[in-house]
Amino acid sequence: MTNGQRLWALIKQLRNLAPSDKIAVVKAEIGQHWLAASTSGEFEWYTFATDLIRWASDPYVRFYLPAYTGAPSVDGPADFDTFTTILHRLSTRDFSGHFDAAAALAMCFHTAHADEAALMNAVLAKHLDCGMAAKSWNKALGAGFIREYECMLAKPVSWPKVKWPSLVQVKYNGMRCQAHVNLADGTVELLSRQGHKIEGYNHLRPLCLDLAARIPNTGGIVLDGELMWARFGQGARAKEEANADFVVYDYVDAATWAQAYRANDARAVGLLHGKQPGPAQQARTAQLAAAIGALNAKFDTVDKWGPGILAADTRMCANRAEVDAFFSEVVALGGEGLMLKDPHSFYTFGRPWAWQKYKPITDLDLKIVRVFPGKGKYEGMAGGIEVAYKGRIVGIGTGFSDEQRADFWANRMKLVGKTAEIQYREITPDGSLLHTNFVRIREDK
């Protein structure tokens, strides 16, 4: 078995494992070999596997190549040295010397076994499809093994930390998307929150270029927002690519964002702690609203809710009462909630307090099916409970005091079958519960 076949077999194995088992298997199959002597075959396997995984999974590496799929023609072994050389040239846009990427790749595939060809195609597509994002690879193979894609995320609201007046926007629940717009070459790359490439949505790309040209920048811009298919549940269109709108609620100059691409650790430079240059949140929001308004004024359409580019519904709220009034309006119309933003903050990687999400909390009474053990500081106590919800098992790990954890573990068998009152903020597309919290045991039920 060649190293290419071996790595592809591992990828296929990972597809059928639970997340925690994936990490353990990668540690055993790859991670343990990094100390092997340079003369051993296992060291060769380690360097081969880690190189290919980095090429496939590093969100800051791009292959500037039209969609390409190679087919095997012999039983191998494939020339992976040449393949990785081609990847390097593609990622650095080194097309000197009349470099024909498609022809060079075809030669690699010409000597490839079917499994080796499948691996090369997965690397070129940057999609190993094994449930291992950069964070998981780093847990298995060491911190910093792969740079993790970063964007700005929100914390659950903590009212003492809200800055008043607050810039308040509707919280959209579509698909997070960053449009990396390069005005110099007229390209638009759409990336997910994890840094995965989003194909298609070609009706939105020229609009992104038009919008970027209306905002001051250094030749490129990153538009941050949400791909949406309906607004507040009204006038819902079929969830198809051609019907998607792009609600843009923030942006960053491309030169600033690019600092992260040049660092081994995106948190080491660039968009951190509000230190990057550029306008603050309130000014960015105003610039976006004006630019999107000018863009949409070009189109004579009654359907202002797309498909196209839209600004987030925004209000300045002076206090909690004004936020709650806005919140009630949005939730009554079927919205998910609100985002509270510090108007003087800058775009920052991670989860700063500058963005806080305010979502409805729903109470439920559900039967306990298991008490699971704690780990770390909760070892010897309950880690939480599992409850039954519409045919699914949902784990609840927060909301317990240390005393409750100790008591629940001591009496774990007695708790099975009892009713727990829990809270949740969201139902996932597959019908499970998100952001759950234990409230109490219902002794009356």
> What does the pLDDT read at residue 127?
87
Helix runs in 142-280, H state only: 205-213, 254-261
Distance of alpha carbon 259 from alpha carbon 268, whole angstroms: 10
Query: Can you name the residues that pair with 93 across neighbouring β-strands?
Result: none
Other CB atoms within 10 A of residue 328 CB: 10
Among 298, 390, 355, which Cα is nearest to 162's?
Answer: 355
> What does the pLDDT read at residue 35?
54
Residue 235 makes CB contacts below 8 A (sequence gap 6+) with 305
**Torsion sign (Cα): 147, 152, 157, 160:** positive
Distance of alpha carbon 358 from alpha carbon 323, whole angstroms: 9
Question: Helix (H, G, I), strand (E, B), or coil: what is residue 257?
Answer: helix
* pTM, full prediction: 0.72
Half-sphere exposure of 402 (CA within 13 A, CB side): 3
Task: Divide the 445 residues of the chain into consecutive groups of 10 and give the mean pLDDT of each group.
Answer: 94 87 91 57 85 91 80 82 92 75 88 93 91 88 86 88 96 90 92 86 94 92 90 54 91 78 43 58 96 83 63 96 95 88 89 90 91 92 95 93 94 93 82 88 81
φ, ψ for residue 371 (rounded to 5)? -110, 120
What structural domains and CATH numbers belong to the chain? 3-141 (no CATH), 155-358 (3.30.470.30), 362-441 (2.40.50.140)
> What does the pLDDT read at residue 234?
42
> What does the pLDDT read at residue 254?
86
> What does the pLDDT read at residue 97?
63
Helix runs in 33-182, H state only: 41-57, 80-91, 101-110, 114-124, 134-141
> What does the pLDDT read at residue 86?
92
Query: Can you name the residues that pair with 314 across neighbouring β-strands?
Result: 169
Distance of alpha carbon 396 from alpha carbon 434, whole angstroms: 10
Distances (CA, A) of 297 to 19, 181, 232, 292, 306: 48, 21, 23, 8, 13
Question: Helix (H, G, I), strand (E, B), or coil: what is residue 381?
Answer: coil
